[in-house]
Copies of this chain bind each other. A is one copy, B any other.
Amino acid sequence: MTIYDISKQAGVSIATVSRVLNGSANVKPKTKKKVLDIIEQCGYTPNAFARGLGLNSMNTVGILCADSSDLYLAKAVYYIERNLRAGGYHSVLCCTGYDPEDMKASLSLLLNQRVDSVIMVGSTFIAAESGDNQYIKDAAQQVPIMLLNADLDCPNVYCTMCDDFKSTQDATLALLNKGINDILYLYNSNSYSGKKKLNGYQSAYLMKDVPLNKQYQQFFNGTHEDIDGVCKFLNDLHKKGLEFHAVVASEDMLAAGAIKYAKANNLSVPDDLSVIGYNNSILTTCSEPEITSVDNHLETLCSQLVKTCIGTLLGEEMPQKTIFSGELVHRASTAL
């Protein structure tokens, strides 16, 4: 069933059918109705490939994501997909894992599929150190690239992010202001936003003129689900004689591990140990006590990101950076 069949049955040319299909102007209402009726009757749907070939677009956006099974990223993907579809776009999902080579390969794959734009979810795609982001810049020459929670100065790259630096700084300051100076900063990612968070922690110490100690900046090297691993990790630090009365974590699951550690050592939270997480995920209410955490308004971020994306595709002028601030959600794991 093609546009020809419809045109024949309706007694018009294929151009007219095409016009009806695309809602172009200048089709006589009577003709339009006749064509639509026949289309309805035959259950005809235009061939998306042919249309794609003609228009050089299938209204498709690629979503690149390291690991969509991660609590936070999964939500991001979900919000982005829903917003995209509401705007008339399809989403091609591509989970890359954390290997830079896979990321590059996946990006190429999407470009070869001729997506209209690529949304990169999570700052893992941005090299925080060396700055080897050439593959993104190259891609940006073909289609607009949207980054969630990452920053890259480059034409045709649009960034929508939460101010992770400030959020972590605020969280740390809140504790310092209470006189808690031995705050362990626990993180599990050296991604772009991972660095930003770490810097936020450090800068809070600088602001308060409290000396920083590298011992208190600990990197946890484990999976995103290994809460027990985090607990053990902290136990080891404790046994090595490191004393800390607060944990600021770059992710809720690390904070959940800290809560577990406290329980295992009969430490009262927050009296003996204050704990602050990040992302305000379900883990914060699952733990006992519930965990104070930074909410970075992911839904808003994603909605804005997709607006920017679609706007750009429609040829509108869009801001290249949009920054939202996070918010510390107070719960029982701190007394601030």
Contact = CB atoms under 8 A, between A and B. Distances in A.
B114 A95 contact: no
Contacts of A13: none
A109 B286 CA distance: 37
Contact of A225 (B58, B69, B282): B282
Contact of A81 (B78, B85, B95, B113): B95
Contacts of A113: 48, 58, 90
Nearest to A60: B92
A195 interface: no
Interface string A85-96: 100001111110
Interface string A72-88: 00110111011001000
Contacts of A74: 68-69, 71, 74, 77-78
A78 B282 CA distance: 19
B78 A67 contact: yes
Contacts of A109: 85, 90
B285 A227 contact: yes
A227 B58 contact: no
A196 B331 CA distance: 38
A134 interface: no
A22 interface: no
Contact of A93 (B45, B53, B77): B77
Contact of A49 (B53, B67, B79): B53
Given A81-B95, A95-B81, A45 B112 contact: yes
From DSSP, what is the main secondary structure of chain A's interface residues?
Answer: helix
Interface in A212-237: 225, 227-228
A255 to B, nearest CB: 10
A208 to B, nearest CB: 32
B45 A49 contact: no
A246 interface: no
A68 B58 contact: no
A293 B82 CA distance: 31
Contacts of A53: 47, 49-50, 52-53
Contacts of A259: 288
A253 interface: yes
Nearest to A62: B90
A268 interface: no
A325 interface: no
A256 interface: yes
Contacts of A33: none
Nearest to A53: B49
Contacts of A56: 49
- Nearest 4 pairs of A and B residues by beta carbon: A74-B74, A49-B52, A69-B78, A49-B53
Interface of A: 45-50, 52-53, 56, 58, 60, 63, 67-69, 71, 74-75, 77-79, 81-82, 85, 90-95, 97, 106, 109, 111-114, 225, 227-228, 253, 256, 259-260, 263, 282-283, 285-288
